[in-house]
Amino acid sequence: MNAESDERRRVTPPVTTAPATGDVTEEVAAEPPLGSRAPDFIKARRTLHVSWQVGVFVVGLAVVAAGAAMLVLPGPGWVVIFGGMAIWATEFVWAQLVLRWTKRKVTEAAQRALDPKVRRRNIILTTVGLVIVAALAAVYLWKYGLTLPWNIARQ
């Protein structure tokens, strides 16, 4: 199955409800066409276009590898990984599809997070979690006390 006939590339527009009237409307987002975004003079020459694709792949791979390293080292790992994916998406259809899917999922998650019921639930769960952590810290301090590192006796 090639990328042009891939069923996943069909994106359904999000459906929203107008708050005042309750009417259902569709938002149609204009997405750029899939495919290479290389300049025309590069796409016109096969050897140059393949060289361009190899260069884009190597640069994107370096950025994704740096982002993967930043997952365990200090740094914005996921941001850099998605930056590498964006570099790949300038040339490769599969990366464009991955970025569209990711953007759609992030938008859906943001919409769910803005739902008042979900926000209320998240606030309640966070508050309960903080109370449990504070209670555990209080029990630990009551039982063992607090000794600062510079007050520990050397043996």
pLDDT, tens digit, 9 for 90 and up, residues 85-126: 999 988 888 989 998 998 899 899 888 888 888 889 989 999
Report domain extents, the chain: 3-151
Task: Work out the number of other CB atoms within 10 angstroms of the CB of residue 120.
Answer: 10
Distance, in Å, from the CA atom of 81 to the CA atom of 70, rounded to the nearest integer, reads 9
Contacts of 97 (CB under 8 A, 6+ apart): 3, 6, 8, 9, 34
Contacts of 136 (CB under 8 A, 6+ apart): none
| Residue 145 pLDDT exceeds 90 | no
